[in-house]
């Protein structure tokens, strides 16, 4: 097989990383603090100035906060549809004399409707997709990026998780046990 026809360009030349007047992407799989000429996820996310880097750090910080608030919105949506179901079940039981007699028989478990499950899945895919992007960003081992991810997770959790404290310990008033 003759390999002479294949050309001599390297993969770094074809990806815009060749020598010349343009700035090459600095991609490192080891801990680094690269700012200028760092590239993240694609060639289009090429940091050409300190302002670009600062904007990326701030954007990643707020992306992580948004993920935490999406988790909160998902929890609140789940609680809302479960509460609506409980209201319908309790409303029917209050007006149905046979339901009062069979109160010990139990109620069918809650199953979301197709539309409700679609909305729940949209919340999930938003969280999953953003989490995957954060993981890809962390794999560049850039100190600023990793710090932005951790700081965003801290602020996001701090501001959005107040709803979960003691939530499992609440006992319903109509509970007999």
Dihedral angle of Cα 3, 8, 13, 15, to the nearest 10 degrees: -20
pLDDT classification of 163: cutoffs 50, 70, 90: confident
Mind giving me the DSSP string for 9-37? --HHHHTT-SSSSSPPPB--SS-B---TT
Residues 6+ apart with CB under 8 A from 15: 25, 43
Q: Is residue 174 part of a domain?
A: no
25 vs 169, more confident: 25
**What's the mean pLDDT in 107-121?**
89
Q: Is residue 120 part of a domain?
A: yes
Which of the residue ranges 20-34, 39-53, 65-79 would you say has the lowest mean pLDDT? Answer: 20-34
pLDDT classification of 91: cutoffs 50, 70, 90: low
Q: Is residue 117 part of a domain?
A: yes
141 vs 175, more confident: 141
Which tens digit of pLDDT belongs to each residue from 134-160? Answer: 999 999 999 999 999 999 999 999 999
Query: Which residue segment(s) compose the domain that 84 sits in?
Result: 54-102+109-163
User: Do the beta carbons of residue 146 and residue 138 sit within 8 Å?
Assistant: yes
Q: Is residue 84 part of a domain?
A: yes
Most distant CA pair in the chain, distance:
89
pLDDT classification of 92: cutoffs 50, 70, 90: low
Number of domains in the chain: 1
Q: Is residue 142 part of a domain?
A: yes
89 vs 128, more confident: 128
Q: Is residue 13 part of a domain?
A: no
pLDDT classification of 107: cutoffs 50, 70, 90: low
Q: Is residue 47 part of a domain?
A: no
């Amino acid at each position: 097989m003759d390999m002479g026809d294949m050309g001599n360009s390297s993969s770094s030349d074809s990806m815009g990383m060749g020598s010349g007047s343009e700035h090459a992407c600095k991609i490192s799989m080891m801990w680094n603090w690269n700012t200028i000429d760092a590239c993240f996820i694609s060639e289009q996310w090429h940091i050409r100035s300190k302002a670009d880097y600062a904007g990326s750090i701030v954007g990643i910080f707020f992306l992580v906060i948004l993920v935490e608030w999406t988790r909160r919105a998902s929890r609140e949506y789940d609680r809302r549809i479960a509460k609506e179901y409980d209201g319908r079940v309790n409303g029917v039981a209050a007006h149905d004399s046979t339901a009062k007699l069979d109160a010990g028989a139990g109620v069918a478990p809650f199953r979301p409707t197709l539309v409700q499950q679609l909305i729940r899945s949209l919340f999930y895919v938003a969280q999953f997709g953003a989490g995957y992007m954060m993981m890809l960003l962390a794999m560049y081992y850039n100190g600023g990026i990793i710090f932005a991810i951790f700081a965003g997770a801290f602020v996001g959790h701090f501001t959005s998780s107040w709803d979960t404290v003691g939530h499992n310990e609440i006992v319903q008033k109509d509970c007999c046990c």
